[in-house]
Structure 1
Amino acid sequence: MFGFGMPEMIIILVIVMVVFGAGRLPEIGGAVGKSIRNFKKASEGKDEIEIKPKES
């Protein structure tokens, strides 16, 4: 995937953990997943995009 090997992926993960902290990683992963899902829906031509307010 994009020419990234395991050592590069580990270095990126360590940098992300230092910047955001280990507690926020699930939040970031969820946001990235939703973004990718919405991008795929938009590129397929579907007009519906799910937008929900953040629950506290």
Structure 2
Amino acid sequence: MNAATTGLMAGIALGFAGFFGGFWAFLLVLVLGAVGLVIGLAVQGDLDLRSRRQR
């Protein structure tokens, strides 16, 4: 799945959450989506969560 398709699906999910659940449901879906994105990128290896600064 490419980035455009993923973005489209995320936008549709946020739209449904905002329409049916209101602002707080929209915000919850947005925050949980961001957390899932960070975890997914870390597991995939595209995001390094370790500190780059060494003393």
TM-score computed with the length of structure 1 as normaliser? 0.48
- More contact order relative to length (CA 8 Å, sep ≥ 6): 2
Q: Name the structure with the higher helix share.
A: 2
